[in-house]
Amino acid sequence: FQGVQQGTGNSQYSGQVTIGTSKSGSSFQLNDTSRGSHKTYNLNKGTSGTGTLFADADDTWGNGSTSDAATAGVDAHYGAQLTWDYYKNVHGRNGIKGDGVGAYSRVHYGNNYVNAFWSDSCFCMTYGDGSGNAKPLTSIDVAAHEMTHGVTSNTAKLVYSGESGGLNEATSDIFAAAVEFWAANPSDKGDYLVGEKIDIRGNGTPLRYMDKPSKDGQSKDSWYSGLGGIDVHYSSGPANHWFYLASEGSGQKEINGVKYDSPTSDGQPVTAIGRDNAAKIWFKALSQRMQSNTNYAGARDATLWAAGELFGVGSETYNNTANAWAAINVGS
């Protein structure tokens, strides 16, 4: 099978990793032919087009720091590879559209750009280099978050405003956490924090907390009638909180060295169904039940339908799934 190669990447966040590359003439390229030909490009501070496809003479990429432009390419390429493998192995989905076709990644976008984004029009992910204390936005969780926007666009198509926008954002955070745990990379272990590697505020705090979203100062822990009127990155809070509660249960817990303390809005404890079950339920709900205008009440219905299909209506898992919704003030 000509073309499929395993390169060695020295990433910034994930240590030394094996990445899918391909050979072209006497050189190698960041073109993962085993995952839909997902390619990674260097924009070299540009903001349009694709810049140049990363190429290398010996198939060993990056040096683990920003002094080598290929390092961000390694992290982005690896994050896309993990996310591809997660969807395929855990959910049986072959690529973002389910058709085996890869997207592509672009790194070194613009100057001091402190963000990353998915675009439906290019079917691609783009990463900034950060600025000041904020590091390049190429960590595993950010890559999985952005790639999941592509999955949402090709499944439920949740409109990116109002409550459906919060659910769209939460879907990206939920699978960001799920991919990070699933990858089990020793340099970036799984957690229920989003963007903890980036240090976006320069004080060591993550962008978002799923056990108690309000810890960021703006996200909401529970549903309330005005939720649809706030920014989608904050109205995601209750659904992120649902995922944490369903996965791990309420109260205090320490996982991979991170301490969590998850409250419930109804004061009733929630018993965990486990992260893998929660992710299976959310994916099935997203891909088979949610629609563009699904709101929080609809998301509850969709996940209970999925839990019923997967585990049986009235099963312990089904009931605990419902309890996690009650804990964020949705349903009863």
303 near Zn ion, judged by CB under 5 A? no
Within residues 172-231, the interface with Zn ion by CB under 5 A covers 172
Which amino acid belongs to residue 46? Answer: G
Is residue 233 annotated as part of the catalytic site, yes or no?
Answer: yes
42 near Zn ion, judged by CB under 5 A? no
Total number of residues that touch ligand ASN (CB under 6 A):
7
Hey, what are 312's tokens?
């049986």
Total number of residues that touch Zn ion (CB under 5 A):
1
Q: Classify 297 as helix, strand or coil.
A: helix
Q: Which of 38, 91, 146, 163 is catalytic?
A: 146
Partner that binds at residue 221, options ligand ASN, Zn ion, none, CB closer than 5 to 8 Å by kind: none
Query: Per-residue DSSP letters for 192-251?
Result: SEESTTT-TTSSS--SEESSSGGGGSSS-SS--TTGGGS-HHHHTHHHHHHHHHHHH-SE
Identity of the residue, 146 or 191, whose beta carbon is nearer to ligand ASN in the bound complex: 146
129 near ligand ASN, judged by CB under 6 A? no
Q: Which residues contact 174 (CB under 8 A, 6 or more apart)?
A: 148, 239, 240, 243, 279, 282
317 near Zn ion, judged by CB under 5 A? no
161 near ligand ASN, judged by CB under 6 A? no
Helical axes 70-91 vs 162-183, angle rounded to 10°? 100
CB 152 within 8 A of CB 287: no
122 near ligand ASN, judged by CB under 6 A? no
CB 103 within 8 A of CB 125: yes
117 near ligand ASN, judged by CB under 6 A? yes
Q: Which of 77, 91, 233, 241 is catalytic?
A: 233
List 115, 161, 271, 319, residue binding ligand ASN (CB under 6 A) = 115
Identity of the residue, 172 or 329, whose beta carbon is nearer to Zn ion in the bound complex: 172
Tokens 């030909």 label which residue?
Answer: 37
Identity of the residue, 195 or 249, whose beta carbon is nearer to ligand ASN in the bound complex: 195
Identity of the residue, 5 or 161, whose beta carbon is nearer to ligand ASN in the bound complex: 161
Which amino acid belongs to residue 158? Answer: L
Rounded Cα–Cα distance for residues 291 and 297 (Å): 12
Summarize as ranges the residues that interact with Zn ion (CB under 5 A): 172
Summarize as ranges the residues that interact with ligand ASN (CB under 6 A): 115-117, 145-146, 149, 169
Which residues are catalytically annotated? 146, 233
